Amino acid sequence: MIKHIFTLLKEYIIEHKVFLALFIVLGILAYKFSYIDILITNLFYNEDGFYLANNLFGLIIYEGAYYLTIAVVALLAVMLILNLTKNIQPFGLPRKAIIFFIVITIMAPGIVVNSILKDHSGRPRPAHVTEFGGTAIFQPPFTISNQCESNCSFVSGHAAFAFAFMSIGLLFRGRVRRIIFTSGFLFGAVVGFVRIFQGRHFFSDVVFAFFFTWLTITLIYKFFYPNDELPDTIKRNS
């Protein structure tokens, strides 16, 4: 069992070596040139504060992402219950695929982003640092500080949840996969942009929300579908 796990991890690293290398390089650059976060955030700040904080579009996206999270969790729970009790495959998804999405929802935006990163990074949000009217000291990404106790800035939880929709594309092929990947990425980018101009996250918080989410998703996918195989029902309908 342990040997099998290490084999899968080795395969995963080889298969995603370019993405992992990009993650490391961008992480180093984001840390070294962290002032870029300040420059970008400053575009949405004036003497009155973050002037788009109460923008209607931003509020709709912010609230919409929150309620969408609840809806997705509820839907996945219902789908699993139907599958276990009635042997129904909602939307043509077999049990393994349903569990796959449940694990992703729990692990990527849930445990990795919110429980581990946001609650332990200590990075204060833009609206809380001295540069933007707060009292906390600005911290670069990938630092652990005492400037924030919990639900901190690094990384964006809302953006991570939106980026997680890209995982649906893994169960398809060709044009459908590309469309889902692109749509999920754009959804995450829009949500992330909103959180930036609201003064709730820095640019790097959104960038690395994508990286941590995608790395978590693809790692989970590797363990569920080590040979990149399609679930039977989806295979027949794609």
Query: pLDDT tens across 4-17, in order?
Result: 899 999 999 999 99
Q: Tell me which residue range forms the domain holding 41.
A: 2-237
Q: Any idea which residue has 């029902």 for tokens?
A: 233
Q: What three-state secondary structure class fits 34?
A: coil
Q: Give percent of the chain with pLDDT exceeding 90.
A: 89
- Residue 87 — left, alpha, or beta (φ > 0 → left; ψ -120 to 50 → alpha)? left
> Which of these ranges, 6-10, 44-48, 230-234, has the smallest mean pLDDT?
230-234
Q: Would you give the distance in Å from CA 99 to the centre of its chain?
A: 18
Instruction: Give the SS3 label for residue 152.
Output: coil
Split into its structural domains, the chain has a count of 1
The residue whose two tokens read 């295979």 is 235
**Per-residue pLDDT at 230 exceeds 80:** no
For 68-81, what is the mean pLDDT?
95
Where helices occur in 121-228 by DSSP H, the ranges are: 157-163, 174-197, 203-224
Instruction: Quote the pLDDT of residue 234.
Output: 52
Q: Are 172 and 234 in contact (CB under 8 A)?
A: yes
Q: What number is the average pLDDT over the span 228-233?
A: 60
What is the pLDDT, as a whole number, of residue 231?
Answer: 59
Q: How confident is the model over 20-33, as a mean pLDDT?
A: 98
Confidence at residue 236, expressed as pLDDT on a 0 to 100 scale: 44
**Tens digits of per-residue pLDDT, 85-96?**
999 998 888 999
Q: What is the dihedral of CA 124, 129, 131, 134, to 10 degrees?
A: 160
Residues 6+ apart with CB under 8 A from 236: none
Per-residue pLDDT tens digits for 204-227: 999 999 999 999 999 999 999 998
The DSSP code sequence of 72-118 is: HHHHHHHHHHHHHHH---GGG--HHHHHHHHHHHIIIIIIIIIIIII
* Per-residue pLDDT, 76: 95
pLDDT of residue 217: 97
Count of residues making up the chain: 238
What pLDDT does residue 171 have?
87
**Pair of tokens at residue 220:** 């989970």
Given a contact cutoff of 8 angstroms between Cβ atoms, the answer to whether 206 and 60 are in contact is no
Q: How far is CA 67 from CA 75, 76, 83, 90, in A?
A: 12, 14, 24, 21
Q: Are 191 and 141 in contact (CB under 8 A)?
A: no
Q: Output the CA–CA distances (angstroms, integers) from residue 176 to 183, 189, 201, 225, 237, in the order listed.
A: 11, 20, 32, 19, 12
Q: What is the pLDDT of residues 113-152, one digit of tens each?
A: 999 999 999 999 999 999 999 999 999 999 999 999 999 9
Global pTM reads 0.93
**Is-contact 198 62, C-beta < 8 A?**
yes
Answer yes or no: are the C-beta atoms of 146 and 199 closer than 8 Å.
no
Q: pLDDT digit string (tens) for 158-207?
A: 999 999 999 999 988 889 999 999 999 999 999 999 999 999 999 999 99
Q: Is the pLDDT of residue 228 over 80?
A: no
Q: Is residue 238's pLDDT more than 70?
A: no
